[in-house]
Structure 1
């Protein structure tokens, strides 16, 4: 099939593009700027179009002959932009991609949302019917696009929504790098109790789910939480990273309130100058917001079965960080 991947040079997008090409599909990747990753996926055989999902003409050009749309392009962790940018890309851009996909009659539309739409999980583990309580503008705008996806499903374009948990794995220099870097030094400062729940998602497991969602009749009109088999306390996660690296990590505890205040102050001070703050509320949330999910629905409907467990995933990720020089 011919598959359009929006955001195809992001961490998840690139992994999906590789899998699609390996399985013999034709891939068009829509990305907002040139870079080393765009050249890499070109060499793999993907067609790369440079432009934004907010540009209707570019999106329409990408849709020619497309059978499946994997829509994962989003404004994410962009701290030097106004909040309206998240609305324009995550809601407005999704609307444009949906409209143009519907015009050409694509066979299926897969929208990558986020588990963050559930915010802090009050009664873990959460399922798809748990309260929707996004904690920031990224999570809010990702959820606001979900009803648009379901609207086009009702119009006759099969569509599925996936809500991934905390994605990590080889190839991503950002998401888990801070954890691995601190652990590699032998000490990991823990703010709060360390008992907050966290639910990782290894990149290969997520790509499995994205591929399953493309199959005809699977998950149409539904939303699915996608995560690994187990969730853990964040202090347990830190110790498991230590085991993966062969480091006996020390975990001193500190009160979290000063960190919360510092996060809000840093964001307010840095934002007018378009400077990425060293600490911000979303980063502080890692220490205090529960993320734990029930993936039974995805298992039942999609046939999803996370193949890579946490220990193996952390081992592979640590090896990649060392190989690429992110840690010693």
Structure 2
């Protein structure tokens, strides 16, 4: 690119899922808090073994600052995320432990997840016409992937339009460690604790509301409703 041709001081830093207080995508952490505190069943795709990562917002901001104006980083690409990973079931278990409740886990069979992901099974949910795009936080109505707008709210996922529901997404931050000495301060459990402290402090456990009708329709289809 321009760095190789002209020495332009550019560094590319794709981030995995940003996690933490004030997330503009409430359907991630905040929806799970609300679901658990309400005693609702928690849907888990497949057998719950798909692996993902998050990066705490404070860690990621610190890493970006460490990368700035460092010639060693020019012309390179750095993954930016946390140092640990978790399965879908581990994600739910961690949230349940932090909130102090027992999760009512309901596993969605892989064959049904395939049908949902491929829009071969469309659930009848009235008046749920909009969705929040997890990449832009904008609200729109998609022409395809009707179910994906709801599946992305069940368990936090990186770019579900790119990665199939059972595709693990794990990244190395070794280059970031080596070149600028970055090390995340937040483990996944600590990131959940910090975010839950904020969620309670802001009173969102009493004021934040979510539409669970699609989940209710799926639970009914599974015979769990």
Asked if TM exceeds 0.5, the reply is yes
The count of aligned residue pairs is 175
Query: 1:275 is matched with which residue?
Result: 141
CA distance in 2, matches of 1:319, 1:163: 28
- Structure 1 partner of 2:70: 216
Q: Is the 8 A contact 1:194 1:287 kept in 2?
A: no
Q: Does 1:307 align with 2:185?
A: yes
**Structure showing the higher helix proportion among its residues:** 1
Contact 1:195 1:233 in 2 (8 A): yes
State the partner residue of 1:157. 8
Alignment map for 1:52-91 (pairs within 5 Å): none
User: Is the Cα contact below 8 Å between 2:15 and 2:81 reproduced in 1?
Assistant: yes
- With the length of structure 1 as denominator, give the TM-score of the two structures: 0.48
In the alignment, structure 1 residue 228 sits paired with structure 2 residue 78: no
Gaps of 5+ in 1: 1-149
How much does 1:278 deviate? 7.2
1:177 aligns with 2:177: no
* Alpha-carbon shift at residue 262 of structure 1 (Å): 3.5
The TM-score, its normalising length taken from structure 2, stands at 0.67
Per-residue deviation, 1:263: 4.5
Superposed counterparts of 1:96-245, under 5 Å? 150-152=1-3, 154-174=5-25, 175-186=28-39, 187-245=41-99
Aligned to 2:214: none
User: How far apart are residue 198 of structure 1 and its match?
Assistant: 0.9
Shift of 1:172: 0.6
Q: How many angstroms apart in 2 are the aligned matches of 1:318 and 1:263?
A: 30
Which has the bigger relative contact order, CA under 8 A and spacing at least 6? 2
- Which segments of 5 or more consecutive residues in structure 2 lack a partner in the other structure? 123-128, 131-139, 155-159, 207-225
Deviations 1:136-176 (A, max 9, x none): xxxxxxxxxxxxxx334532221111121121100114232
Alpha-carbon distance, 1:232 to partner: 1.2
